[in-house]
Every structure is written in structure tokens, then in C-alpha cells.
Amino acid sequence: MNNTKRGRLVVVSGPSGVGKGTVLKYVLDRDDFVYSVSATTRSPREGEVDGVNYFFITREKFENMISGGEFIEYAEYNGNYYGTPKFFVEKMLSEGKNVILEIEVKGAMQVKRIVPEATFVFIAPESIEILEARLRGRGTEQNDVIAGRLSIAEREIRSCLMYDYIVINRDGGAEDCAEDIVAAVKAEGMKPCNVYTSICDFFK
């Protein structure tokens, strides 16, 4: 019998420029958190390793997996499929790891339908002005590209109320923000509905 406490699926969204990467790097420094590895039909780029960066699979295999209901969510971008295979998430959860799935709002709502017991976390900026300054600070994009991103960001941010937890990534606060996410996942595990296996003897 496997006595390992099952991990939790943690779905994380947040607008472009909010600093998700830095925050999640701190979360993933912890032994009990792993990143969800996606499957894709695009070719590996130099240095990318199968099973680490992505599971690289053929279009035929991907479509078979879609038919078989083997994805938690999937989407097609630029002619390639990207998706979250159930088998990987399930394996990690059963080993007691919390699995971080970083995904945009629409994908998150797709996951909500299939894995309602997942924990949904939204990383928000302190303000739209600060988000705009960050996007401009990268200095690599044209004004109209930034305006487009901001407009998407504003729409995404308004979806934050659909998430279980909203963490605010303040300037220089990525580490605090990571701790907030860890606390939220811990707290989820302490809700009566999730403690049941530890306390069921009390109700015999």
C-alpha cells in the first residue's frame, strides 16, 4: 500500500510581464514541487531534452491521445499541438509531489472542468501602471505590441476572481510571492475535505 500523501495540482496563471517565471523558480526550489512537463508536436530546439522540457511526440500520437482523453488540456498554436498529459501529472501526484501547471486563463478554466480539486492561483501585478512599466522596460517591443499585450493582460486580470487565491507580485517580492503560493497549497491540504484520510478514524 502506498502511504505517501498525494500531491496537489496547482494551476498558476498571470498576465504577461507579471514575473511568473521568477516566482515559480522559487516555488520549484522546494523538493515537494515539480513543474508539469507538456507534450508537443513541434521539433525539439537545440539543448531541449525529451521528458524534461517537453515530451516530443508525433502529430499522429498526439491526436490519438486527444481521442483517448489523455490530456488535461491542450491547444494548437502556429500549427503545433501543446498539451498537458494526464499520465505525467498523475505519476507526480501519486509520488506526493505538488505539480505546477503554468497556463493562461482559458486553459486554466479547461483544467477546472476536468480537475476541479486542483488549486487555482492567480499572480497579479500591484497595478496596471506597474505592469505596463515592466513590459516597456524589456525594451524589445513596439508600442502597438505592448498596447496589445496590455489589453490582453487587463482582460486576464479581470478573470482573477475565478481563482482560489490571488497573490500579488510586488516589486522585489518574488520570493514572498512564492511563499504565498506554498502557503496556499499547504492550506488547501488542511481543509476538512482534504484531511479526511488522516481523521476518518475519529468517525468510526
By the criterion CB under 8 A, which residues form the site for a copy of itself?
124, 126-128, 154, 157-158, 160-161, 163-168, 180, 182-184, 186-188, 190-192, 195, 198-199, 201-203
Burial (CB < 10 A; 0-12, 13-18, 19+), residue 171, is exposed
What is the distance between the alpha carbons of residues 22 and 19, in angstroms, rounded to a whole number?
A: 6
Q: How far is the CB of 162 from a copy of itself (least distance, A)?
A: 8
Task: Give the three-state DSSP class for 103.
Answer: coil
Q: Which CB sits closer to a copy of itself, 99 or 167?
A: 167
Q: For residues 53 and 194, which CB has a smaller minimum distance to a copy of itself in the complex? A: 194
Instruction: Give least dist CB 145 to a copy of itself, A.
Output: 22
φ, ψ dihedrals at 157, nearest 5°:
-60, -35
- Reading the block at residue 3, the C-alpha cell is 502511504
Closer Cβ to a copy of itself, 77 or 202, answer by number: 202
Our CB check for a copy of itself shows the closer of 1 and 161 to be 161
Supply the minimum distance, in Å, between the C-beta of residue 121 and a copy of itself: 8
CB of residue 65 to a copy of itself, shortest distance in Å: 34
Query: DSSP letter string over 51-117?
Result: TTTEEE--HHHHHHHHHTT-EEEEEEETTEEEEEEHHHHHHHHHTTPEEEEE--HHHHHHHHHH-TT
**Closer of 105 and 184 to a copy of itself (Cβ):** 184
Which lies closer to a copy of itself via its Cβ, residue 72 or residue 121?
Answer: 121
Taking the complex as a whole, how short is the minimal distance between the CB of residue 126 and a copy of itself, in angstroms?
Answer: 8
CB 127 → a copy of itself: shortest distance, Å?
Answer: 6
The length of the chain is: 204
- Alpha carbon 203 to its chain centroid, in Å, reads 36
**Is-contact 78 88, C-beta < 8 A?**
no
